[in-house]
Amino acid sequence: MAQALTRLKESPSQTAGPYVHIGLTPNFGGIGGVYATDLGATMLNDKTKGERIGLRIRVLDGTGTPLRDALIEIWQADANGFYNSAAELRGDADPDFQGWGRQPTDMETGLCSFETIKPGRVPYGDGRLMAPHISLWVVARGINIGLHTRLYFSDEEKANAEDPILARIEHRLRVPTLIAERQGDIYSFDVHLQGEKETVFFDS
């Protein structure tokens, strides 16, 4: 017998369930007076650097029906491509931009909105630049483990064409599932949980 490996196992995931709002967006869920504001509701202040954009995101099930009980978190670099994180060693991120946001989908329409800035480019492990992107994490009733994906931008065609992650997608027909369409300052993005237009989800 060889020596035993003594690592622990990660705690297994469980669904966030239909009442995720109670814990993560209580003011939105109708529980006032416990927290002053819902965490992650506002990403910007007057001093935040960068181009203001809006994200309009929906999450659709296998029948094309929008989820009205999902919750989305986003994580992104600042306008210069720096993350506001202890693990960011390349430089200092904009102190007026945390880079993280959290929003529920609307209980009637299923629409989920973020007001943020367009992120700068971040290097991949080998030094090549990734295209501007926002990391998404989706949880909801019926989702046993949070789904990771990315939102890329339709007006970044050249950068998208050389992005090392998009390049890993074998079936090129699926690449557009990660690209948000621009109209004015708003990018629209549908996350399809399953079916023909199923979004590419990550194991990373």
Partner 1 sequence: MPADAGSNRRPETGAFFQRDRNWHPPALTPDYKTSVLRSPQKALLAFDNTASEITGPVFGHAMLGELDADLIHNFAKPGESAIGERIIVYGRVLDERGVGVSGALLEFWQANAGGRYRHKKDGYLAPLDPNFGGCGRTITDADGSYAFRTVKPGPYPWPNSPNDWRPSHIHFSVFGHAFAQRLITQMYFEGDPLIWRCPIVRGIRDRAAVETLIAALDMQATIPFDARAYKFDIVLRGRRASLFENRPEGN
* Residues in 38-97 at the binding interface with partner 1, rule: CB under 8 A: 39, 61-63, 67, 69, 73, 75, 77, 83-90
Q: Return the C-alpha torsion angle 67, 134, 53, 123, nearest 10.
A: -170
List the one residue from 145, 161, 185, 186 that touches partner 1 (CB under 8 A). 145
By CB under 8 A, is residue 176 in contact with partner 1?
no
DSSP 176: G
By CB under 8 A, is residue 100 in contact with partner 1?
yes
Closest CA to 147 of 21, 16, 26, 43: 16
Rounded to a whole number of angstroms, the minimum distance from the CB of residue 2 to partner 1 is 19
Rounded to a whole number of angstroms, the minimum distance from the CB of residue 89 to partner 1 is 6
Q: 132-155 in b/e burial notation, b at 16+ Cβ within 10 A? A: bbbbbebbbeebeebbebbbbbee
Please name the amino acid found at residue 126.
D
By CB under 8 A, is residue 184 in contact with partner 1?
no
Closest CA to 163 of 174, 172, 152: 152
Q: Hey, is 14 helix, strand or coil?
A: coil
By CB under 8 A, is residue 141 in contact with partner 1?
yes
By CB under 8 A, is residue 140 in contact with partner 1?
yes
Closest to partner 1 by CB, 89 or 184: 89
By CB under 8 A, is residue 3 in contact with partner 1?
no
Closest to partner 1 by CB, 184 or 204: 204
By CB under 8 A, is residue 150 in contact with partner 1?
yes
**Distance in angstroms (rounded) separating the CA atoms of residues 6 and 74:** 34
Partner residues linked to 72 by β-bridges: 103, 138
List the one residue from 109, 113, 123, 161 that touches partner 1 (CB under 8 A). 123
By CB under 8 A, is residue 156 in contact with partner 1?
no
List the one residue from 1, 45, 46, 125 that touches partner 1 (CB under 8 A). 125
